C-alpha cells in the first residue's frame, strides 16, 4: 500500500516490550490523526510515526509503557533508512535470495541478441550456480542508430531461458508503456542508470508486484540514489536492490569510475541490499574481475556481470562481456571471495 507522508519520528520499543504496548502507541498515533509504520526487528520493534512533525512533538510518546527512545529521522530518506529498519532486507525470488548474508550472483548477456546466444549464455551461467539471469530486451543506447534490443521478442526468449534453467530473470524497463510486458516477464525489474531520476517511472515500479533492481545514475550522488529508492518504496514496493555501477568523473582510463566507497556508505545508510555492476565501469573484460573482487571485499551483497558466448560478435558492450568459456574461472574466484566475506551464494 502506498505510504502517504514520511515517517518523521522513530519510536524504538524496548527489547521486552509487549504487542499490547506496541498497539497502544499505534492507537495513540491514530487518535492524533497520525499513522504508524511498525517494523518488528530482531532486537526490538521500531515504529515510524507518520504525521506533521509539530503535531508529533506534542504527543507524550516517551511516557508510554515499553517505549525506550523517541528520535527524529533527520535524513531526507526515511523508508529506506537503516534507522527505520535496522535489520537488513532480504529479497527472495523463486527461492533465490539477496541480502543479509545471501550473495546475489547475477550474470547474463548485456542484451538478448538471438535465441541461441541467450540460451547458450543462460546454460553456461546456470552451470556455475548463479542466482539470477540478466539480459536486456529494451536497451538504453547512447546512439539512436545503435541496436535498441529485440523488445517483446527478447522477453519471450528470456522466458524460455528461465524455463530451461530455472533462473529468475532480471531485465530493464525503460518506458512506462512497457510496464505490463516487462512486469509480466521479469522476476526483477531493472531500472537503468539513465532512468534513475525518471520519477514517474520510479513511482510506476513502486506499484508493481515485482522487486526492483535500481542502478545508480551516471552523475548521481549516494543520496540521490537513496531518494530514488524512496520513491519506489513510498508507493508500497519495499523490495528494492540498489546497484553501484560507476559514475562519470574526469577519469577516462576506465569507462566509469566505480565508487567503491559508496558500498560501505550505502550499507550503513540503508537496510536494502547493495550490489555492484563491475562490467560497465570496467568497459573492458580484463578489468571486470578486479573490480568484482573489490566490490565483494567492500561488502557488496552481490554482483551483476555481463557474459556472452562470443563477445567479439556482441551487438552491445562487446569489449566488457566475459566469454562463457572463461566464466567458470570467474565464478570460482567470486564464490571463494564471497565465502571469505561470510556470504552464501543466494
Please tell me whether residue 280 binds ligand PEP under the rule CB under 6 A.
yes
Kindly write down the DSSP assignment for every residue of 90-157, as one continuous string. -EEETTEEEBTTEEEEEEE-SB---HHHHHHHHHHHHHTT-SEEE-BSS---SSTTS----THHHHHH
7 binds, among Mn ion, ligand PEP, none (CB under 5 to 8 A by kind): none
140 binds, among Mn ion, ligand PEP, none (CB under 5 to 8 A by kind): ligand PEP
Stretch of 35-43, 69-77, 143-151, 190-198 lying at the interface with ligand PEP (CB under 6 A): 190-198
* Residue 195 neighbours by CB under 8 Å, 6+ apart: 140, 174, 201
Residues composing the chain: 346
* Contact pick of 215, 255, 267, 343 for ligand PEP (by CB under 6 A): 215
The three cell numbers locating residue 161: 531461458
37 binds, among ligand PEP, Mn ion, none (CB under 5 to 8 A by kind): none
* Contact pick of 70, 157, 193, 242 for ligand PEP (by CB under 6 A): 193
- How many angstroms separate the most distant Cα atoms in the chain? 68
Least separation in angstroms between residue 191's CB and Mn ion is 15
Least separation in angstroms between residue 170's CB and ligand PEP is 9
- Give the residues lining the site for Mn ion (CB under 5 A): 110, 317
CA–CA separation, 229 and 202 (whole Å): 8
| Pick 97 or 285: Cβ nearer Mn ion | 285
Please tell me whether residue 192 binds ligand PEP under the rule CB under 6 A.
yes
Please tell me whether residue 136 binds ligand PEP under the rule CB under 6 A.
yes
Please tell me whether residue 78 binds ligand PEP under the rule CB under 6 A.
no
Please tell me whether residue 175 binds ligand PEP under the rule CB under 6 A.
no
CB 6, CB 50: distance < 8 Å: yes
Least separation in angstroms between residue 180's CB and ligand PEP is 21
Please tell me whether residue 170 binds ligand PEP under the rule CB under 6 A.
no
Q: Per-residue x/- mask for ligand PEP, residues 138 to 167, rule CB under 6 A?
A: --x---------------------------
CB 112, CB 306: distance < 8 Å: no
Q: Which residue is nearest to Mn ion (CB)?
A: 110
Sign of the Cα pseudo-torsion (298, 264, 229, 241, in order):
positive
Binders of ligand PEP in range 322-341 (CB under 6 A): none
Kindly write down the DSSP assignment for every residue of 260-314, as one continuous string. TTHHHHHHHHBSS-EEE--HHHH-SGGGHHHHHHHHHHTT-SEEEEEEESSGGG-
Size of the site for ligand PEP (CB under 6 A): 10
Task: Count helices and strands (H / E) in the chain.
Answer: 11, 16
Site residues (CB under 6 A) for ligand PEP? 110, 136, 140, 192-194, 215, 245, 277, 280
Amino acid at each position: 500500500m502506498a505510504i502517504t507522508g514520511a515517517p518523521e519520528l522513530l519510536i524504538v520499543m524496548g527489547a521486552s516490550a509487549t504487542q499490547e504496548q506496541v498497539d497502544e502507541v499505534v492507537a495513540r498515533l491514530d487518535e492524533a490523526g497520525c499513522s504508524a509504520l511498525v517494523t518488528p526487528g530482531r532486537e526490538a520493534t521500531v515504529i515510524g510515526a507518520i504525521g506533521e512533525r509539530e503535531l508529533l512533538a506534542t504527543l507524550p510518546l516517551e511516557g508510554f509503557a515499553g517505549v525506550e527512545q523517541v528520535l527524529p529521522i533527520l535524513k531526507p530518506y526515511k523508508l529506506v533508512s537503516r534507522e527505520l529498519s535496522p535489520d537488513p532486507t532480504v529479497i527472495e525470488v523463486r527461492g533465490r535470495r539477496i541480502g543479509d548474508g545471501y550473495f546475489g550472483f547475477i550474470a547474463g548477456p548485456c542484451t538478448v541478441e538471438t535465441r541461441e546466444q541467450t540460451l547458450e549464455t543462460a546454460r553456461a551461467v546456470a552451470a556455475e550456480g548463479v542466482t539470477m539471469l540478466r539480459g536486456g530486451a529494451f536497451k538504453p543506447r547512447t546512439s539512436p542508430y545503435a541496436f535498441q534490443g529485440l523488445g517483446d521478442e527478447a522477453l519471450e526468449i528470456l522466458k524460455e531461458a528461465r524455463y530451461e534453467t530455472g533462473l529468475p530473470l532480471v531485465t530493464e524497463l525503460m518506458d512506462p508503456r512497457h510496464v505490463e510486458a516487462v512486469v509480466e516477464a521479469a522476476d526483477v525489474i531493472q531500472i537503468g542508470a539513465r532512468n534513475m531520476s525518471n520519477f514517474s517511472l520510479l513511482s510506476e515500479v513502486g506499484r508493481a508486484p515485482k522487486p526492483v533492481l535500481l542502478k545508480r545514475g551516471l552523475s548521481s550522488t549516494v543520496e540521490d540514489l537513496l531518494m530514488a529508492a524512496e520513491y519506489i518504496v513510498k508507493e508500497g514496493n519495499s523490495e528494492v536492490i540498489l546497484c553501484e555501477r560507476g559514475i562519470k568523473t574526469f577519469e577516462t582510463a576506465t569507462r566509469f569510475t566505480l565508487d567503491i566507497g559508496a558500498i560501505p556508505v550505502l550499507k550503513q545508510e540503508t537496510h536494502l541490499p547493495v550490489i555492484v555492476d563491475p562490467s560497465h565501469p570496467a568497459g573492458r573484460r580484463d578489468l571486470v574481475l578486479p573490480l568484482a573482487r573489490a566490490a565483494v571485499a567492500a561488502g557488496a551483497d552481490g554482483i551483476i556481470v555481463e557474459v556472452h558466448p562470443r563477445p567479439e560478435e556482441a551487438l552491445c558492450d562487446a569489449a566488457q562481456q566475459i566469454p562463457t568459456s572463461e566464466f567458470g574461472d570467474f565464478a570460482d574466484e567470486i564464490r571463494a571471495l564471497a565465502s571469505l566475506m561470510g556470504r552464501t551464494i543466494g
